Amino acid sequence: MKRLVVASLALALGGCAIVPQNRRARLADPMMSLAQDPLEAHRKQKLYSTREGAAGGDGLAAGGGCGCQ
Amino acid sequence: MRKRAARSALLALSLAIVARPAAAEDARPSAPLFNDADILEKPRPYFQIESIALRYSRFDQSGTGYQSRAGKPGQPGSEEMRVEQPQLEVTARQGTHLTHRIWVPVDIVTAASPDAIDVVSGSSRRNEAASFDWTATYARDRTTASIRNGLHNEENYRSWNTGLAGSRSFAEDNTVLSAGVNVVVDWFDRYLIDGTNAGHNARSSLNFNAGLTQLLSPTTVAHVDYGFTLQEGQLSNGWNIVPTPQGAFQLENLPPLRRRHAFVARIAQHLPWSGALHGSYRFYVDDWGIVAHSLEAELHQRLASFARLRFNYRYHTQAGADFFRTSVPLGAPIFATADSDLAPLHAHTVGVKGTFDFAVPFARTLHADVAVERYFRSNDLRVSVYSCGLGLLF
């Protein structure tokens, strides 16, 4: 757990260099989006949350809202 | 008299000279060929549909698990199941700062537990479930705030959820901090082992999330997220069983409290050949004894200006719950589950998805995609997933 915290802090601190707006063309490509299409995200959540006891908890409540969770 | 006539002639001449430009202007076209709206774009309507999306997914599952009654006594029963899942999403903008999202997912589950004794509701063989979810988001400058409310209904089961979330960007939008809280309350019929309805029961889930998204370079973006969920109430689904050595079975018995922690790190790297590579790692731990690690990779490749392809792979491993067992002495007052989802397991997912975005005259973009995935688990469970989506962006 400590390693994860250190890794996430290193990730955050490593990003302190500002990327100017005029150099973000590649970041604006839909392929670079870290957020999935919400309907596909739900499909994916359905696949895992009803088949793995360790699913959920990241972004939305783990369990609840469905009889099979 | 002559002097007066000369003065009148001079006045008339002066008037004629002064009036000439005006007359010349009158000769020009009276109305311009364009107006301000043509130059500055027409003012947006106060209420405007921004997107409509439809998705249909189908899950074909096969395998066995000890929690299922559809098997020989003491042996794992069938987990064969088919789920059809249509979804509809509409987003609309109201005014300058407010956006609404309406989302309606439906689940049609067939043969969830074929030999279950739930003869009262009949929900074992075919079960329809639907939700209605509304999110309103207010965005101004670098801050967003949203409120989410939803209802879920299926046979003998109701659920309500509500949530608040917000985000704030910093450092010229290089950094975005987000946080949210969600509450889900489930209310459902409680059945005894012989199918007798024993009234109602409830469970609640309280969830808190905090995330950070950071641009690392002109081609790299990363995100970290932590989520905590506290669940209370009847946490079993009401029909899972645990076999007994005598060849009988009893309902699973789960602790009424569960604290769950999930930590996620994601990164996306743009590739020079019009591609992108995504990687993610998720760590999960809860007080039922489950510790899990999930690794996922996605390779995106643009094939043409309107088409791209995605390959994805996921590996998941988890330790089982402390009280997972495939047999329990009849009537023993202990926590016990035989649910294969709570067992120690490894799982793999492989998939491919094609995405197409077309420019059309009646909308900004027509989106279409089709995806196939295969999920297989070490403890005898396999799922084939087929999904296709269609959407319009206005």
- Per-10-residue mean pLDDT for chain B, 394 residues long? 58 54 52 70 86 97 90 88 96 96 94 49 70 97 96 88 96 95 90 82 93 96 95 87 88 93 97 97 96 98 97 97 93 91 97 97 96 97 98 96
Angle at B227 between CA B223 and CA B228, to 5 degrees: 165
Question: CA-CA distance, B48 to B96, in Å (whole number)?
Answer: 10
Predicted pLDDT at B210: 96
Predicted pLDDT at B237: 81
Percent of chain A with pLDDT over 90: 39
Measured on CA atoms in the order B334, B335, B339, B341, is the torsion positive or negative?
A: negative
For domain B47-393, is the CATH number 3.30.1340.10?
A: no
- Selected residue of B68, B190, B208, B260 to mutate for chain A interface (largest A Cβ count, 10 A): B260
Token duo for residue B360: 């059309």
- Selected residue of B181, B206, B217, B335 to mutate for chain A interface (largest A Cβ count, 10 A): B217
Question: CA-CA distance, B284 to A56, in Å (whole number)?
Answer: 9
> Closest by alpha carbon to B381, among B319, B339, B328?
B339
Min Cα separation B45/chain A (Å): 26
The whole-model pTM stands at 0.84
Question: CA-CA distance, A46 to A29, in Å (whole number)?
Answer: 27
Question: Residue A53: which of B186, B341, B381 has the nearest Cβ?
Answer: B341
- ipTM surpassing 0.90: no
pLDDT in tens, A26-44: 999 999 999 889 999 999 9
> DSSP assignment, residue B392?
E
Predicted pLDDT at A60: 63
Predicted pLDDT at A5: 67
Indicate the domain borders of chain B: 47-393
Backbone phi and psi for residue B274, each to the nearest 5 degrees, phi listed first: 55, 45
Contact B374, B387 (CB under 8 A): no
Min Cα separation A6/chain B (Å): 12
Collect all residues of chain B within an 8 Å Cβ-Cβ radius of residue A43: 55, 57, 85, 87, 385, 387
Q: Which residue of A has its CA nearest to B341?
A: A52
Predicted pLDDT at B179: 97
Predicted pLDDT at B194: 78
Predicted pLDDT at B24: 47
Question: CA-CA distance, B110 to B127, in Å (whole number)?
Answer: 6
Whether A63 shows a pLDDT value over 60: the answer reads no
Residue B392: which region, alpha, beta or left (left: phi > 0; alpha: psi -120 to 50)?
Answer: beta
Collect all residues of chain B within an 8 Å Cβ-Cβ radius of residue A42: 87, 105
**Is residue A4 very low, low, confident or very high in pLDDT (cuts 50, 70, 90)?**
low
